[in-house]
Structure 1
Amino acid sequence: ATTHLTDIVGFVHKRDGMVNASMEFDRATLTPLYRLKKGEPGQSHALEIARRYGLPDRVVEFATGMLGRMETEFHELLAELKDQRRRHEEALADAERLRRDAEAQARIARERLAEAEAKRREAVEKAFQEAKEIVRGARREVNAIIEEARREKSREARKKIDEAEAMVEEKLQEFHPEERLPLEAVNEGDTVHVKPLGHDVTVLAVDRKAGILKVRAGTFELMVETADVAPPREKGAKKPKAKPAARIAAPSRESTPHELNLIGLRVDEALGRLEPFLNHASLEGYGEVRIVHGKGTGALMRGVREYLDGHPLVREFRPGEPFEGGEGATVVT
């Protein structure tokens, strides 16, 4: 129902299935807004319009008095409530607009933050890759320097060995020719004199094809060429059957074995044999050699491995596998 009659408004308000409604009206301009508002009773604006169009005030006031005080107060209260509702709706619309603006600003801020974070991650990743490349380049340079130093030390070591061999050769040339021992005359268990050592030794094995003898001098086991041996000097020693003249020659580096046995030696004695062994192995290009030191008290093993640690000719070393001697041996590369 749409009406400005209070009795009808009250009747509709109290009945289910019925609802008051009104057409919005702008009291400032006295013009309809053509918006239907359900739930709000309507008002009569006839007297205000009549006053606006020139009806005498006394006539309008007389007509207003005819409405009665309660009727007038009702319409005034209703008009005030409508004004409040309109202000609240406008405030609510402003709040909704501000909310949408805030959401838009928040969305823009999130997008900018995400963009900044993506750029930051990209910059960090780029810096990380550049740092990795710098480290790789520095590592390549360091490895090149280490390799060059290793080659330089190898050249220096070979030069020193060549000088030592030349000196030995020169000293050996001072000896007078002695009797030779034919290889076929030397047998396992014979005693022979090793001229470079200046001692008699016991023959442990004979390699007739290679012309090399394996001998024992005290606790040492050595490989020597037959050109370096002569009949024994000590009395009562077991001599080979033949005693032909022998030729003096310097020890050959070809006899350097891939294995060095240090069992039974003191640490200082073992290290004295270890250094030339490593030099020969490096010069001959051996990829891997084995040093046998046994377990014992562990002193010899520790001494050998401490000596190997940081040695310029040693790339790495490890304990032997079970088939290589386990902790009783050290494999060097």
Structure 2
Amino acid sequence: MTAPRRVLVVGGGAAGNATAILLRRAGLAVDLIEAKDDWNATAGSGITLQGNALRVLRELGVWDQVAASGFGFDAVGLTAPDGTVLHVEAGARTGGDDLPATVGMQRPRLQQILIDAVRASGASVRLGTRADSFEQDGDGVDVRFTDGTEGRYDLVVAADGLGSATRAAIGVTDRPEPTGMAIWRVAAPRPAGLTRTDLAYGGPAYIAGYCPTSESTIYAYVVEANRDRASIPPRSYAEEMRRLASAYGGFWPEITAHITDPAKVNYTWFDRLLVEGSWHRGRVVLAGDAAHCCPPTLAQGAALSLEDAWVLAEMLTGTETWDDALFRAYYERRIARVRPVVEASVQLGRWQLDGVRDADVPGLMGRVMTLLRELP
């Protein structure tokens, strides 16, 4: 009997976890390595998952857990800074009519659901481990790990995030670039009556918004122009976010009262990345944030990463021939979908930074949502 093909997945985020689950389901041998000892099980406050992300999570077999743990809703509100609701827009069900438009979740809970699914799949997992070097020939990749061990693989999937060391190691020179914006995020208890995302434009920040993440929790965020990180000591994070958030009305006073612990506040610049030309070198293939990243203005970062995993696994398991033509086809299929989302996400922020008041925001968002409703 021929031994199953062996795949190394580098990175245990959304793209890496999903790839491992799907390839194991198809009978491939999968090793997953993750640099963090805790597998990022406690990182982050909340995440907004639109329908096209939910569609992939259902394919992974975890939709029931996601639905039970998160908070689904089908509308987005636009408010004035004082909290006055100006408009409520029905959310586009980009995953199909049988899934909510959006589910908000605590990010650690989603990660734990995916971790459990990877473990259940039978993939071999090593935490606190990085790939140190890659040597390729026409049939596979020899990998040396930071713990001194080695392995040979038919394919390496580099899903090690925005700062991907694998991307650099294989000679891809594209790097993330800041877009000029930054976001403050915090988890908080859910105020009674908060049942959807609301976005306030204007005030001291470009955007102030929140998203329910369970029956009892939300995550809240405030978007401003990016500042030199060195000028904001972490001990002041709660004070800085509270200062910005205190200018907003509606549910915000209740939310702001819980912004007290600087260790629970996250400050992150918005970045843009889109690797051009191809997402592979030999038998090392990029997926997720290692290949592309966009600001969260359309809440599509995790969704695009999950789609990468779905498409790549489908293509790998649909043929016996793993060659440049296959990996090029993967790139062509994904770039046609990813590029418009990255560009639109950046454009929405650019309009705000430039103070453009007559921008066709609804039109741009509508075109992207129509695209995303199609299967990837």
TM-score, scaled relative to structure 1:
0.22
In proportion to residue count, which structure has more strand?
Answer: 2
Q: Highest Rg: 1 or 2?
A: 1
- Normalized per residue, the structure richer in helix is 1
